[in-house]
Amino acid sequence: MSHKINLNKGSMRERIIDLISEEPLTAKQLHAKLQRQFSILSSYQATHKILSKLVEDNILKKIDRKYTISEAWISHMENKTKNLKTKLSEPKINLEEVKNKESVNLTFKGIPAVGWFLVDTFMKAPNPEKKHGLALWRFCYSLIGLEEKHYIGIKERFKENEWHAIVEENNSVDKMFGETLKEYGLKSIKFGVNCATPLSDKMILGDYICEIIYPANFRKLWAIQNRMPKKLIEFNIGKHLMNMRELQPEIQAIVTKNEKMAEEYREEYLFFK
């Protein structure tokens, strides 16, 4: 019996939100519409109770006896829709279906998107022998400005496998980002090792290699941002957020399964760890 009541309450909330989204209404106007359009038999007091709860939940607000949708709820739904669109548009890959010596090309729009692919897909690559993960970066990757899911995900990935990073640059900004990654669980990081091309980085886990290729202009901005400050206090965090998060460069990722090549990368670079 209580299960049916819960279902009816949920339906009632949805109908109330739908009606008020069309126009602001008083409690009496709303109750009359519910009876007329949906043949609702519940009491006026029941309608008023749901309205009060919707106001308490910041879904509705009351102005001059009339109820209307709150700006906070509109913003919440817009963000939810935006995130869903982003999720649906992100390229997908099942690493277990990639055959040895086969490559898959993917395209991402912006750092957060490619970052989530690395954290939520590539760094989960099958690795039954628990071979060390290896990152070969020109610049150390930054966690600043990412979403909560990125932070949670990177901690989990560093727990699942032992990861080591080799970074070509050797400046104070890259070292600052490296220290942050170590706090999240990166096992080791070494700077000043020739390991990346001007436009691309690589990450290796198990038998899988992911090459991340950036546009030339974006890579130049990245270089200026990290190399310019002579002291960490001079680092412009606002500009960093704009360059690395708000800009939406087209980034290519080429995922290859190649046991021999992956092992060669580990033999070549884990010597530096």
Domains of the chain, by residue range, sit at: 2-82, 90-272
Just give the CATH number of 2-82: 1.10.10.10
Amino acid at 140: C
Can you give the pLDDT at residue 2?
A: 30
Can you give the pLDDT at residue 107?
A: 94
3-state helix, strand, coil in the chain (%, to 5): 55, 20, 30
Strands lying side by side in the sheet with 60-63: 25-26, 66-69, 60-63
d(CA 244, CA 113) in angstroms, rounded, equals: 11
Nearest to 144 by CA among 191, 186, 185, 179: 179
Buried b (16+ CB within 10 A) or exposed e, 76-114: eeeeeeeeeeeeeebeeeebeebeeeeebebebebbbbb
Can you give the pLDDT at residue 52?
A: 93
β-strand partners of 200: 213
Q: What is the DSSP string of 251-269?
A: EEEEEEE-HHHHHHHHHHH
Contact 152, 119 (CB under 8 A): no
d(CA 78, CA 205) in angstroms, rounded, equals: 37
d(CA 51, CA 55) in angstroms, rounded, equals: 6
Can you give the pLDDT at residue 8?
A: 40
List, in order, residues 6 or more apart from 241 with CB less than 8 Å away: 144, 145
In order of 9, 77, 141, 240, 252, the CA distances from 111 in angstroms are 42, 24, 10, 12, 11
Can you give the pLDDT at residue 90?
A: 63
pLDDT tens string, the chain, 273 residues long: the values are 332 333 344 478 888 998 999 999 999 999 999 998 888 888 999 999 999 999 999 999 999 999 999 998 888 888 777 766 655 556 678 999 999 999 999 999 988 889 999 999 999 999 999 999 999 999 999 988 788 889 999 999 999 999 999 999 999 999 999 999 999 999 999 999 999 999 999 999 999 999 999 999 999 988 888 887 777 677 777 777 777 777 789 999 999 999 999 999 999 998 765
Q: Which CATH architecture has domain 90-272?
A: 2-Layer Sandwich (3.30)
